[in-house]
Structure 1
Amino acid sequence: MTGAGDRGQHDRPRLTTSAMIASIAAEGQRTMAAPFGHALVALAQEDPSILGMTADLGKYTDLHVFAQAFPERHYQMGMAEQLLFGAASGLAAEGFTPFATTYAVFASRRAYDFIHQTIAEEERNVKIACALPGLTSGYGPSHQATEDLALFRAMPNMVVIDPCDAHEIAQAVPAMAQHRGPVYMRLLRGQVPLVLDEYGYSFELGKAKLLRDGADVLFVSSGIMTMRALEAATALAADRVDCGVLHVATIKPLDEAAILAACARPGRLVVVAENHSVHGGLGEAVAGLLMRAGVHPAFRMVGLPDAFLAAGALPTLHDRYGISTNALCARVKTWLG
């Protein structure tokens, strides 16, 4: 039986699986296929210690590219994330540099204790690269890692990276390998947008970079929200709102000097934007830094709510939860009055 609430349902586009796991790239945007997989292959060609490991998600973390190039250095551990990270720790203890991939929810929730005890506490040289960070899946709370940055920021010895695009991922992979110790990186997979190459950007572990300057608003952002902030800055310029964008790819250790210098500039609104819960991520890290340093700009945060998020099409969810470009622009206009 069809109720009143179902009227018009057949006239709407049917929600498809692809809409729930769609690429974050806008229509017509430049992309690069599997930047993580290709960067890891290039690194392994120069470094025989590099290994690729996954828990039945190689195709969905772009590790299949590595598996094809180096089958003898690829480890498929099955659907057993605790085993994945325990084995990675053991291989690191023997002098290898394992890159272990899975979904961010499985690393941050299902295998957290194994990472904490066998990798972080022992300072093992394991690199963790995890797909579907924040709200980049429409499959609901079971696949939406909205609290991963908070969890890994709190873990001693862990470096935490939230890259913006394919250009940055390709540069972050060798930087992760060069760093001695555990690293957690949020991973964008598949057809990943290319954005930062247009700004002459180069990734440096632990360094924030000013991509554009502006007198009215400063976006302090990480991950895909840097892409959104750049889009918002362009759109707001049409309304004579001059926006700067400070990209903070390394969440831990935080580039305190760069953030303080940018936020201390008088007369502009500071907006921290992140694809993560408003609790425990970049926003609270920046807020705490500013308070401790006695720097007090007008300050706002854009992030995901303290809630279990809905399932659905990503564009709809990004609008609903305020991390789309249009939503970001609307918020800034409201805050500026």
Structure 2
Amino acid sequence: MTRYLASRAVEVIVTLVLMSFVVYLLIGLMPGDPIDLMIAGDPKMTSADAARLRSLYGLDRPLFARYLAWSGEAIQGNFGYSRSFGQPVLAVLWPRLLNTLVLAGTAFVIATAIALPLGIRAASRPRSIADYLINLMCFAGISAPPFWVALLLITLFAVGLGWLPAGGMADIRPGTPWTIALVDQARHLVLPVITLTLVQLGAYTRFMRGAMIEVLRQDYIRTARAKGAPEGQVLWRHAFANALGPVLTILALSFGGLLSGALITETMFAWPGMGKAIYQAILDNDYNLALVGLLIATLATLAGNLLADLAYVWVDPRVSLTGNA
């Protein structure tokens, strides 16, 4: 196990280094730079001032030399400052990362808890009325754009009924009782969580259904039924454990993508999260913020993939991380 984790850690480091170089290269090749934005905002700035600023920030150096300078500082824990916020990058991203983890994590847990039983139910009775209804719901969820779902929820629950806030986060003032603060924060979370849950629910259910149908065709399932095992035991003890393996990969990779992929939901509900921060940083040519944000999203995806591999061993004792199964 230790050797496996060490090798995976090396793979993660190599991937992050390559990713950082590619992202830095792509951002550096974008038209314009922060100095161009300063010039647009200050007509009195001369070309000599602009050249002096580019020299001060190192923007007049070759792109590869700038990357080496940035990576040297990053190794020491200095990821630079955000030009848009005037603060260290980590100080800007940390609260937004927590906000996205709360939003995406809550939606992920709810979607998974609903999708797995639904997929099993549909697979246990293929071509039944329940199967058709579940598939219809899945196709509707997969086909519905997130912004459209968000608009419907805002129109119904915020504008029409007035039950929930349309967006933003709760403004917690000092001295507010924690119970009131928690309820207020939960009210602001309801609509974006429902949106993200509905977006994920259809795909997760379809994956679970497909994996279960494949497992239920195996000989050992027919043997278990022939021996008189109850259907519930066949589904949950024999089939579910074996069907969960491939589904774990989908779940792990999708959760990592949520850190940066919840952009539309965060924008529609004005939720200050990672996806919105990365998108705005790219528009503002905020190199450091965009680069570190994308690296965090990459790290989350790699971590999810590692957790999926470890979960394989937990759900299927036949799988060995050392390759000696």
TM-score by length of 2: 0.24
Decide which structure has greater strand share.
1
Decide which structure has greater helix share.
2
Q: Relative CO higher for 1 or 2, CA cutoff 8 Å, sep ≥ 6?
A: 2
From the CA coordinates, give the structure whose radius of gyration is larger: 2
